[in-house]
A and B are shown apart, each in its own frame.
Chain A
Amino acid sequence: MKKYYSSIVIIVLATCSFVSCKKDFLNVKNIPADMPIDMMYKTYDYAQDVVWKTYSFLPDGYAWMDMEAATDDAYHTNVSNRSHIFNNGVWNQFNNPESVWNNYFDGIYQANLYLKHKGDVDLSYLANGIKNNDSTTYKRALTNLKLMEGECYFLKAFFYFELVKRYGGVPVIDQALEYDEASKWKGLPRNSVDECFKYIVSLCDKASVIIPDSVRTSSVTSWYESGRATNGAIKALKARALLYAASPLFKDAGSTLTWADAAAAANDVIKTNLYNLDGSYANLFGATNATSAEAIFFRRFGDQNWFEANNFPIVFEKSNGSSVTPSQNFVDEFEVKTGSTAAPFDWNNATHAANPYSNRDPRLAATVIYNTATFSGNTIQTYFGGNSGQPKLNATKTGYYLSKYVNPGVNLVTGTKTKHQWMYFRYAEILLDYAEAMYNAYGATSDPLGYGMTALQALNKVRARAGVAMPARTDVTQDFLMHERRVELGFEGHRYWDVRRWKMGNYFRQPLNRIEITLNGTSYTYAVKKLEDRVYDDKMNWYPIPQSEIINTGWTQNAGW
């Protein structure tokens, strides 16, 4: 038996090592480095991060700028840009390059999470830490949590509006959904357009009760950061939403909201008396626009220069030529100002045609870089053979470059950056919203509810901005309101939606025109040429619901798709 001693020892040792090392060898994640969900809601700092994440679903206006090239206002130089898919009419429920369905429903889900768990935050460590009767920190946290509730209502309303203006009626999800509670999320129907708008209005009303007018001015809430939603932002969202709801496209889709409702909502913003038109139109799109008296709601991006790298005329080194370039259709919209009169631009007018960029509405120069314009210290030549013109690689094909929001202070070679804030709402838009709503509700010169301004007065207020000073109109027409919106709000993300809500798709069916400029000695000759034909069907006033969603819900697709 002796010879087995060694093996018995081995058996015993080996068995011990297998069995006794650890309780369970496969439990490797004994110290999880991840955060439990309830801890996130419990902890004040982390709960705030839930709200910041909600903000992050807001659209990035700079990144969306290429979609202006899917309107009659512009053309995109980059052959691979998504706008060409829209202009060729080849987008649909299977392939929509501007598919935001998931983004905004994710945003709604995120807002609902905070609203559901807003009471979970444990502030006892602040309450217990009060020293010398100084409860500032604790009170501030309490206030902040309450204000964030209002912000979440507002953001949710914002997201719903983004959805409704594209897809029409979508399901209204008032409470946070749980996957385990299938009955609450499975088989939700699409709410009607009317219900959606009313829901947006109710969210705005809830939010504006929580976030006071004074949130950015009162010393009690002086810590409320620039870029967070204000009372004015909430009212402005409601005003724009109601303007859309009263418009023909949404009226036809069953909206019961009226132009009078829209006018009242716009008047609510105006009568806060917090906002004024900026004395410099160009300032609204520059690095300091956030402090403008006209700014109502904006998104801060900090320092960046990619938008300039895309849109600087190609005479600048490192301009990459992925540019949104204004079209001739857009440039022709700007009036010619002669003394105290203004007239539409007309190529058949020899004076106009000889010097097409003279005496134009000053907003043209602030929006568009045209041939011989000075930009960032350079004279930009867009004529054939010019420093930024055809046939240079990546040169503009329309004969224009974009100026609005493109900061000439950036130096692409040295890589300098400037502050960028994208303006979601500004006062001039509210005045134009008001003008359009008042005009359609009560006519050009009537103010039956005593708001203090008629449609005509609101329109002329915008035109009279210092530095723009376009001659006052004596009458208002829907056509002229459309003109003024296109000129004042060009390249700010409006045209794409305005044409749809007005059901004026004909604009988008027109060929897109360019200017061909030829240098003859020291003078130029101009010829308007077609750049491309465009495809636009009326069904495109609405986006198709993504096909995967149709399959997963059994909903009826929007008409025509």
Chain B
Amino acid sequence: MKNKNIKHCIWLILLLGVTVAQAQTIKSVQPDSLKSKNSLPANYVDEGFRTEQAWRNTGSVFTITGEDLARTTAGNLLNALHGRIPGLTVVSSHGEPGYDNPTLYVRGQSSWNIAGNQVVIFLDGFQVDMNALSALSTNEIETITLLKDAAALSIYGLNGGAGVLSVRTKEGTKTGKTKIEVSAKYGAMHTIALPKVMDAYGYVTAYNQALQNDGLPIKYYNPDLYKASDDPFHPNVNWYDKMLTNRSALQDYNISFRGGTDVARFYVLGGYTNFEGVYKDADIIDIDFGTNAKYRRLNLRANLDLQLNKNLSVKASVSGITEDRNTPSGFTAASVFSNLMKVPAAAFPVTNLDGSWGNSSVYNFNPVQLLRRNGIYNSHTRYLQTNVSFAQKLDALVTGLSLSGGISFSNVYTGVYDKKFAVAAYEITKDAYDNPVVDNNGNIVYKVVGKADESISDGGNSHWNRTSALFGFDYARSFGKNTFTGMLKATRSSYTHDGQTYAVVDQGLRGFVTYDYAKKYIADLSFSYHGSGDFESAHRYGLFPALGIGWIVSNEDFLKNNSVVNFLKLRASYGLTANTNESSRFLYERWASYTSNVYVLGTTDGTRNGRTEGAYANADFTWEAKQTANVGIDATLFKKLNATVDVFKEKRTDILEAPVGVPNYTGFNFRNTNSGEVVNKGFEVNLQFRDKVANSFEYNFGVYMAYAHNEITKKAENPQPYEYLYQKGYRIGQMRGLEYAGFYQVADFDASGNLNAGVVKSTYGQVKPGDLKYVDKNGDGLISDYDKVPMNFAKLPEITGGFNLGFKYKGLDFEAFVQGVMNRTVSLLDDAFDYTHPLASNNNITVFSNNPWTPEKASTATSPRLSTLVNNNNNQASDFWLRSGNFFKLRSVELGYTLPKVGFLKSFDNTRFYVIGNNLLGNEIEGLEPERLSMGYPLMKTVTFGVKAKF
């Protein structure tokens, strides 16, 4: 390497280091405009309704390949997107296989109604349901492109306001040869940071202390008995150990055939995926199937492209997927994990002396019993996604013109069956001194909890159908240095699903005209004229235009052949998009309203129903509109560094909300009106460096950072006495609370236990020493809701970032990717209440409360005094419960080896062995996993071994 390059490298490393330190985070991917792979013509970018050469694109888009997605081993494709796309925030749901759909946000949030998962998914140019994407195999994905700004989105009109993810599946090739690709993966999943609860001795001593604090007699007279061993009368059960295995297995096998000729091209994939849950010894009811959580999926896809004649091509694609999900019957994973934490180690034994199941009528949840002897719940889902399209060149009529159209039909159905084999459990009764009650014959007296029960039920739930069609013209022609491309298409879509009486329908015209001069100056005008059946007939259609302009500076003479700047494009866009909302339809209508059982009359107490005039219509009912401005730079420097920078500002208007302003004495009710406004601003930066040392050593590294900050600028709010009580001026979901000011101390109280004069009183209840004390913000001497001020950030992070690093040396390759988020605040009160609120309401006690307030530890205590009573004062939102939600995770680290082509291996194109680790490292918040605070089914770290062969 030349000295000059080394200097640049050092400079870059320093820059990146600083950025990474700020962002606490990391990640990989190549800059948008330069991404290119396989079937799309080189350097084309897929934008769903249109494809555009990357250099001509004026919008903010980001593309990731199926190969990159495969670096995360996940049963759910959406979870492979974690941190991979700048501007896409993936918020994890819990980790149960098959029930782990995350929530997606593009550039944060710009409406309180259009929250997560409103991102619209396009699969091969047609809209599909979010679930259809989650069930795809990474192997069948060519690219996934995120569309972020108006230049890319206005063509989507009413569907474009929350971003679009456009997915392309693989197509056949024209090589005349058929390539077979076989891949196999086997892996192990481990739970991340399970909550740590106290053992039986810790629990009973804490419980006694809490009773004393409450002025009550103690309950456990001989705590040491709980220390000794785990006998049924003084149990010491580690429920997590009894219930969960150390690791669970995942498998994933795929075979694909890809090939074709100039006339016909095909891609066929078959896949099998199986993710096991973490429950232990769950095969008692059914040795084959068991009650362990399980997610099993079969994928089939056939994509076919036919060139019928020189001018007419037809494309057909069929994807069928079945999913089987398995869980124990009668309760959700959320309640299993909530009870694993809530049932104290000292509560009851797993089994009694006589082998019967233990239980307690207080908890009524023996996790082990329920897992092994309650039943099986199985759900079966079928997906069918098909589309057929054609393109006919019409050069004979107008040079450069072609006609195309297509139709897509997709469908999902889920059916469930539920088999129950419940048995009773037996509670050991105890007297007031914690001794088992014995009858006259000397036998232990048991109380029966639950009963034997056997039943079977089945049914269908969620199903949906979506049909969409498009039809229109494409145009592309150059006149010397002037090149025009364009499109005009009519589209129509109908969507019916459970929960909607009336089909969700939309139709419209979409189009664009892109012009460039000498590959230097680009103007792109795109639009949609889009209507939805949700609105009144005169107000159904809206025009959503966008203008994008680009200047490829590097094609100017003064930069031609410049050794530093190889490529430089400046681009800017401005335009409109909008959203409809399935939960707010037909608001322009007014009907009579009906309430059942409003009053009781007659000596036999007959119920009467009520009717009245329904809420007044929102006469101006319309969509939530968004204006987006975006400025961006794409650059390649030194032929090694690719950089993309985007800065954006969005203004969301017409946000639906309940109106205020009409006096309530009128008795009027109103539908929600379009009146709220939010401004959302931010940027995305992505830098990727790639270089080769000699012939055999290639290395690359990169960093990205995405920032989005929203502010409510207009909201219908009732009058408040203090400015800080308004939501206006703050983030959507802004954390709020009382400001913690230490604990009430003994000195704050007089001899009879009343607060001394001058010490703030709480309106939330009578406080005692060791309760949380707060700052009296409004100075009225009382702690009330008026003292709750905005604090820190919201739960949705404002900053996400990533850092990636990789190298290749001969057959060896290595990639690592770290993701991080910042400006995120989590509330232990909201998200980990049971973990942080010991003993009251029969709760357990965890390590969070291992240093509670006592008079002796008044100055060093880290949690409020123990109590068996609910403490309303301590349970108020306050910064005592807030924690920085910042986290980083080593999302993936991968080491691979590609066999050299020698000997018999020559018949293989490529054979690669690899090992991938996902989420192996990360920080913790209060000892908990940072994304979900370890609540519910835990998130997993995985280690996967795989092999992929192509021949």
**A residues touching B (Cβ–Cβ < 8 Å)?**
3-4, 6-7, 10-11, 14-15, 17-18, 24-29, 32-37, 39-40, 46, 48-50, 52-53, 55-56, 79-80, 84-85, 88, 90, 94-95, 101-102, 105-106, 108-110, 112-113, 170-171, 173, 177, 179, 185, 188, 225-228, 290, 299-303, 391-393, 419, 532, 546-553
Interface check B543, CB cutoff 8 A:
no
Which residue of chain B has its CB nearest to the CB of A101? B664
Interface check B661, CB cutoff 8 A:
yes
What are the residues of chain B within 8 A of A11 when measuring CB–CB?
A: 403
Interfacial residues of chain B within 95-153, with CB under 8 A of chain A in the complex: none
What are the residues of chain B within 8 A of A290 when measuring CB–CB?
A: 603
> Which of B529-537, B638-646, B802-810 is found at the contact surface with chain A?
B529-537
Contact between A179 and B660, CB atoms less than 8 A apart: no
Contact between A300 and B600, CB atoms less than 8 A apart: yes
Q: Choose one: B392, B505, B591, B602; the contact of A25 (CB below 8 Å).
A: B505
Q: Choose one: A53, A85, A532, A551; the contact of B763 (CB below 8 Å).
A: A85
What are the residues of chain A within 8 A of B663 when measuring CB–CB?
A: 185, 188, 549, 552-553
Q: Compute how far the CA of A29 lies from the CA of B607 in the bound complex, rounded to whole angstroms.
A: 32
What are the residues of chain A within 8 A of B413 when measuring CB–CB?
A: none
**Given A80-B870, A185-B666, A552-B661, 13 more contacts at CB 8 Å?**
A18-B469, A18-B492, A25-B492, A28-B533, A37-B613, A39-B592, A50-B610, A55-B598, A88-B761, A171-B665, A546-B664, A547-B721, A549-B664
* A10-B390 contact given A4-B396, A26-B537, A53-B611, CB 8 Å threshold: yes
Which residue of chain A has its CB nearest to the CB of B504? A28
What are the residues of chain B within 8 A of A90 when measuring CB–CB?
A: 763, 782, 784
Q: Choose one: B533, B608, B660; the contact of A27 (CB below 8 Å).
A: B533
Q: Choose one: A94, A302, A553; the contact of B600 (CB below 8 Å).
A: A302
Contact between A34 and B532, CB atoms less than 8 A apart: no
Which residue of chain B has its CB nearest to the CB of A171? B665
Which residue of chain A has its CB nearest to the CB of B873? A79
Q: Choose one: A6, A56, A105; the contact of B666 (CB below 8 Å).
A: A105
What are the residues of chain A within 8 A of B611 when measuring CB–CB?
A: 35, 40, 46, 49-50, 53
Q: Compute how far the CA of A302 lies from the CA of B785 in the bound complex, rounded to whole angstroms.
A: 38
Q: Choose one: A18, A26, A300, A552; the contact of B531 (CB below 8 Å).
A: A26
Contact between B533 and A88, CB atoms less than 8 A apart: no
What are the residues of chain A within 8 A of B721 when measuring CB–CB?
A: 94, 547
Contact between A37 and B311, CB atoms less than 8 A apart: no
What are the residues of chain B within 8 A of A391 when measuring CB–CB?
A: 214-217
A–B pairs, 13, beta carbons within 8 Å: A3-B309, A3-B312, A6-B308, A18-B469, A26-B506, A49-B594, A49-B610, A84-B763, A95-B784, A179-B666, A393-B216, A549-B663, A550-B719
What are the residues of chain A within 8 A of B174 when measuring CB–CB?
A: none
Q: Compute how far the CA of A35 lies from the CA of B308 in the bound complex, rounded to whole angstroms.
A: 55
Which residue of chain B has its CB nearest to the CB of A551? B719
Which residue of chain A has its CB nearest to the CB of B786? A94
Interface check B872, CB cutoff 8 A:
yes
* A53-B610 contact given A90-B784, A94-B720, CB 8 Å threshold: yes
What are the residues of chain A within 8 A of B502 when measuring CB–CB?
A: 28-29
What are the residues of chain A within 8 A of B503 when measuring CB–CB?
A: 28
A310 to chain B, nearest CB (A): 16
Contact between A102 and B664, CB atoms less than 8 A apart: yes
Contact between A170 and B610, CB atoms less than 8 A apart: no
Interface check B868, CB cutoff 8 A:
yes
Interface check B499, CB cutoff 8 A:
no
Question: How many interface residues does chain B have, given as a range?
Answer: 35 or more
Q: Compute how far the CA of A95 lies from the CA of B782 in the bound complex, rounded to whole angstroms.
A: 14
Contact between A40 and B592, CB atoms less than 8 A apart: yes
Q: Compute how far the CA of A15 lies from the CA of B471 in the bound complex, rounded to whole angstroms.
A: 8
What are the residues of chain A within 8 A of B608 when measuring CB–CB?
A: 48-49, 52, 55
Interfacial residues of chain B within 879-906, with CB under 8 A of chain A in the complex: none
Interface string of B646-680 (1 = CB under 8 A from A): 00000000000000111111111000000000000
Contact between B719 and A548, CB atoms less than 8 A apart: yes
Which residue of chain A has its CB nearest to the CB of B605? A302
Q: Compute how far the CA of A281 lies from the CA of B765 in the bound complex, rounded to whole angstroms.
A: 36
Quick one: which of B308, B394, B602 has the most chain A CB within 10 A?
Answer: B602
Q: Compute how far the CA of A171 lies from the CA of B665 in the bound complex, rounded to whole angstroms.
A: 8
* A50-B612 contact given A18-B490, A26-B532, CB 8 Å threshold: yes
- Ranked nearest first, the 5 interchain pairs of A and B with the lowest CB-CB distance are A109-B667, A53-B610, A34-B591, A52-B608, A7-B392
Interfacial residues of chain B within 583-618, with CB under 8 A of chain A in the complex: 586, 589-592, 594-595, 598-603, 605-614, 616
Contact between A173 and B665, CB atoms less than 8 A apart: yes
Contact between B785 and A95, CB atoms less than 8 A apart: yes
Q: Compute how far the CA of A228 lies from the CA of B606 in the bound complex, rounded to whole angstroms.
A: 12
What are the residues of chain B within 8 A of A547 when measuring CB–CB?
A: 718-719, 721
Which residue of chain A has its CB nearest to the CB of B609? A49
Interface check B451, CB cutoff 8 A:
no
Q: Compute how far the CA of A179 lies from the CA of B673 in the bound complex, rounded to whole angstroms.
A: 15
Interface check B501, CB cutoff 8 A:
yes
What are the residues of chain B within 8 A of A15 when measuring CB–CB?
A: 471
* A29-B586 contact given A53-B598, A185-B666, CB 8 Å threshold: yes
Which residue of chain B has its CB nearest to the CB of A40? B592
A422 to chain B, nearest CB (A): 11
Quick one: which of B492, B506, B666 has the most chain A CB within 10 A?
Answer: B666
What are the residues of chain A within 8 A of B533 when measuring CB–CB?
A: 25-29
What are the residues of chain B within 8 A of A108 when measuring CB–CB?
A: 667
What are the residues of chain A within 8 A of B609 when measuring CB–CB?
A: 49, 52
Contact between A105 and B665, CB atoms less than 8 A apart: yes
Interfacial residues of chain B within 710-737, with CB under 8 A of chain A in the complex: 718-721
Quick one: which of B312, B504, B613 has the most chain A CB within 10 A?
Answer: B613
Which residue of chain B has its CB nearest to the CB of A15? B471
* A26-B507 contact given A35-B591, A549-B665, CB 8 Å threshold: yes
What are the residues of chain A within 8 A of B661 when measuring CB–CB?
A: 552
Interface check B4, CB cutoff 8 A:
no
Which residue of chain B has its CB nearest to the CB of A552? B663
Interfacial residues of chain B within 784-803, with CB under 8 A of chain A in the complex: 784-786
Which residue of chain A has its CB nearest to the CB of B667? A109
Interface check B415, CB cutoff 8 A:
no
B178 to chain A, nearest CB (A): 29
A40 to chain B, nearest CB (A): 4
Which residue of chain A has its CB nearest to the CB of B663? A552
Interface check B405, CB cutoff 8 A:
yes
What are the residues of chain A within 8 A of B310 when measuring CB–CB?
A: 3
Quick one: which of A29, A36, A52 has the most chain B CB within 10 A?
Answer: A52
Which residue of chain A has its CB nearest to the CB of B613? A37
Contact between B664 and A105, CB atoms less than 8 A apart: yes
What are the residues of chain B within 8 A of A549 when measuring CB–CB?
A: 663-665
Contact between A177 and B668, CB atoms less than 8 A apart: yes
Contact between B311 and A7, CB atoms less than 8 A apart: yes
Contact between B605 and A300, CB atoms less than 8 A apart: yes
Which residue of chain A has its CB nearest to the CB of B531? A26
Contact between A226 and B312, CB atoms less than 8 A apart: no
* A226-B603 contact given A34-B591, A40-B611, A80-B872, CB 8 Å threshold: yes
Contact between B403 and A7, CB atoms less than 8 A apart: yes
A434 to chain B, nearest CB (A): 29
Contact between B665 and A227, CB atoms less than 8 A apart: no
Q: Choose one: A34, A95, A302; the contact of B607 (CB below 8 Å).
A: A302
What are the residues of chain B within 8 A of A14 when measuring CB–CB?
A: 405, 471
Interfacial residues of chain B within 470-525, with CB under 8 A of chain A in the complex: 471, 490, 492, 501-507
What are the residues of chain B within 8 A of A40 when measuring CB–CB?
A: 592, 611, 613
Contact between B603 and A106, CB atoms less than 8 A apart: no
Contact between A227 and B668, CB atoms less than 8 A apart: no
* A56-B719 contact given A7-B394, A33-B501, CB 8 Å threshold: no
Contact between A225 and B602, CB atoms less than 8 A apart: yes
B631 to chain A, nearest CB (A): 36
Interfacial residues of chain B within 178-236, with CB under 8 A of chain A in the complex: 214-217
Contact between B718 and A548, CB atoms less than 8 A apart: yes
B763 to chain A, nearest CB (A): 5
Interface check B766, CB cutoff 8 A:
yes
Q: Compute how far the CA of A301 lies from the CA of B663 in the bound complex, rounded to whole angstroms.
A: 32
B308 to chain A, nearest CB (A): 8
